[in-house]
Each structure stands twice: as C-alpha cells, then as structure tokens.
C-alpha cells in the first residue's frame, strides 16, 4: 500500500512533463509542415550542406507539382465529361 505514495507522484510528474513537451512542440511549430519529412525520404542524404536548401525547395516543388497534376487530371476529366454530353 505504501508503494502508492511513490507511484502517484511519479505518474503526476511524468504527466506534467508530457504536457509541457507537447505545448513546447506546438509553440515552436514542430507540427508546422508534416509533408516535407515524408517527401525527404525520396532524396539522398549524402548531399552537401549547401545543397540542403535546394532539397527543401525540391520537396516543396514536388508537392506543388503533384497538386498541379491532380488539378490538371480533374480538369481533363471534366472536359471529357462535358464533350460526351
């Protein structure tokens, strides 16, 4: 029974630390761009430091190009449907 006097403060402390870390991550914009890290796997890691900015730009361009291609496909489907009617 006396172990509860140790476990409850430890649980409260760990909970407080977890909440602090979560709010710190939100405050420092750690969740700002979730897509870039997913796209970074497509590029090599052995690129020089000076080229890292180019990699980030490439990832952004790739995301933008995918969005543009998606819009173009949508427009093409709409134009095909309009010509059929």
| Averaged pLDDT, 31-58 | 69
CB atoms within 10 A of CB 84: 6
Domain boundaries of the chain, sorted by first residue: 1-31, 33-85
| Averaged pLDDT, 80-84 | 71
- Report pLDDT for 10: 98
- Percentage above 90 pLDDT, the chain: 27
User: For residue 22, which of 10, 13, 31, 32 has the smallest C-alpha distance?
Assistant: 31
Tens digits of residue pLDDT in 53-77: 666 677 777 787 888 888 888 887 7
- Average pLDDT over the chain, rounded to whole? 80
Cα separation of the two ends of the chain: 78
Distance CA 68, CA 80 (A): 18
pTM of the model: 0.41
- Report pLDDT for 55: 63
- Report pLDDT for 13: 98
């Amino acid at each position: 029974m006396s172990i509860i006097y140790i476990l409850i403060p430890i649980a409260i402390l760990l909970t407080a630390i977890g909440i602090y870390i979560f709010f710190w991550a939100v405050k420092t914009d750690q969740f700002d761009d979730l897509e870039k890290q997913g796209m970074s796997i497509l590029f090599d890691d052995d690129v020089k430091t000076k080229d890292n900015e180019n990699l980030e730009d490439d990832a952004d361009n790739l995301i933008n190009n995918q969005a543009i291609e998606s819009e173009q496909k949508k427009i093409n489907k709409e134009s095909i449907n309009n010509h059929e009617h």
